[in-house]
Amino acid sequence: MEHTYDSLFIGGDWVAPSSAATITVASATTEEPIGRVPEAVSADVDAAVAAARSAFDDPTGWATWEPGRRAEAMERLADMLGKRGEQFAQLVSRENGMPIVTSRRSEAVIGAAVLRYYAALARQTGVEESRPAVAGNGTTVVRRTPVGVVAAIVPWNFPQTLTMFKLGPALAAGCTIVLKPARETALDAFLLAEAVREAGLPPGVVNVVPADREASGYLVGHPGVDKVAFTGSTATGRAIAEQCGRLLRPVTLELGGKSAAIVLDDADLEPNLDAFFRATLNNNGQTCLIGTRVLAPRSRYGEVVARCPTARPSCRVRARTGSTARRTNRLGRGRSTCRRMPPPVPTRPTRRRTTDQMPEPAHSDAGGPRPPVPTVRKGRRCRADRWV
């Protein structure tokens, strides 16, 4: 396999895992293995949390640094991410089927930009602020202190972007992090770990432990964790909220929704089709802020269906090895958990789950049978089979 890691990133170093369990990451295009990483178990979670706790509690460590000093370290990390930008773009595209044009605009650059944003914010925001007391007598002092060890759990759809949405503010505040990436996109998290080490962040400030559901739940409830930040499904978010509620542990949740694109009776569809595409099918439809359904007047139902982005002749999906890497492709072969409108070529288990849950009288207006996975001969290219 092209990307193989035998160690976990804990305490600023590569350490042997506590078990022989591994996670094999498959290409979303070919379903062939492209890499393997260790699967963290509870003992590894203990080690990662202990490393993060030690780094946070260090009397001269990360949490005690002046904001400007932390900002400098974050900017070094941003430089290391920038140096690996194309690697991130290519790797994420292969892991989750993201079109390369989307990956280069997001996974290759947003992570570094987010780090620089929070580094600048750390410099601009005072650690302490004095305000007039509410009662009118005296002064109220507001002191900003880091919360502690943060468990950051991220999904697979925009793995690097969503990781940095958690790491950026946490690092700027002086927190330390235990990152639990999605199993489907564990490889880019290890590339991030390489960047963290090269940037010279203190040992234990960032730790990476890909894990199954059981070990992830163990991380959420770990007594050494002070806050949980989660992006993912509503069902999992509800379970995390319940667990953190019992522990009175701060938690931030970014969960799924059912946002709708609404077409009014007098809407002019033709000039807005490209915007319609971006609003509904960006990254194969796997984007938290896009519309997952379209509400149209009954009188214009047929017209809206006919002009839906997936029905346009210009909307092509290529079922071939490396299809997500074509710069002209706007849709790639991706993973899907969408209930109503799946991406054009989901993987076998997700396609089965989608079709099984499609209610009557719903039907597919665009698409066709799942294309066969092409065979690849060494040194030869596959023919591109086009379909809509």
Give me the active site residues, please.
254, 288
Pairing of strands 149-153, 176-180: parallel
Q: Name the packing angle between helices 67-83 and 85-96 (round to 10°).
A: 70
Residue type, 281: L
Number of Cβ within 10 Å of residue 50's Cβ equals: 18
For the chain, what is the radius of gyration of the CA atoms?
23
Helices within 35-144 (DSSP H only) = 42-57, 67-83, 85-96, 100-105, 110-124
**C-alpha–C-alpha distance, residues 26 and 192, integer Å:** 19
Backbone angle region of 11, left / alpha / beta, with phi > 0 → left and psi within -120 to 50 → alpha: left
Q: How is 310-364 classified by DSSP, letter by letter?
A: GGSTT--EE-STTGGG-TT-SS-------SSS--SS--HHHHHHHHHT--TT---
Residue type, 153: I
Find, among 69, 153, 47, 97, the residue nearest to 347 by Cα. 97
CA 318 to chain centre: 24
Is 53:149 a contact under the CB 8 Å cutoff? yes
**C-alpha–C-alpha distance, residues 155 and 168, integer Å:** 17
List phi, psi (to 5°) of 167: -65, -40
**C-alpha–C-alpha distance, residues 23 and 246, integer Å:** 31
Q: Name the packing angle between helices 186-199 and 159-173 (round to 10°).
A: 40
Pairing of strands 13-15, 8-10: antiparallel
CA 186 to chain centre: 10
Encoded tokens for 155: 């999904």
